[in-house]
Chains A and B, each alone.
Chain A
């Protein structure tokens, strides 16, 4: 069935470094991808999204890259700050499925930023 997985469950970086979080997805028909940040005791918070007709999208300090050939998604965080410490999830959506808005989440990557 559909699945979205992450290569690295944990990532530790120093403040000011750039962080890269990776994600592999298995449904080649997925056409919408999202990165969420989840802090302890809170719900997932939208970071950035990308549609399948794009391969790169930039936000404030964040960039998402999509490689449809190898079904790979990555989130790049520039100048990582202690406040970026959280669990990061990638999620995918297939608008043509029976559940239009269904998001399929990966396992998550724990990002720890050391001052």
Chain B
């Protein structure tokens, strides 16, 4: 079975641009979470979606938004990119949205903002 997939693998943008990252969860998983991992740090929670509804949001500005589609795939959008948005963006899927559900991570999208 395929694991969590993310696209693109790498992305280079300039300040002020907008970016869309995509995630496909494991088949049967209905929850997708997004994390930002800056080099040398642990992942930071951005969003969780379950059944197309936002179930949690981390401490990120409104430039960050996301959505989940009927097939449970998800997109993360970041507007007005800043240099500090350069990071590895990770998507994790789980069967449900509840705490204590094992989350499986994708390989991530490496975003570089110049």
User: Which residues of A pack against B, CB within 8 Å?
Assistant: 4, 31-32, 34, 36, 41-46, 49, 51, 89, 91, 93-108
Contacts and interface: CB of A to CB of B under 8 A. Distances in A.
B101 A101 contact: yes
A101 B91 CA distance: 13
A95 B101 CA distance: 10
Interface of B: 4, 31, 33, 35, 40-45, 48, 50, 55-58, 90, 92, 94, 97-108
Contacts of B50: 101
B42 A108 contact: yes
A46 B102 contact: yes
B99 A97 contact: yes
A100 B48 CA distance: 9
A32 B92 CA distance: 17
B58 A32 contact: no
A28 to B, nearest CB: 15
A40 B51 CA distance: 32
Contacts of A49: 102
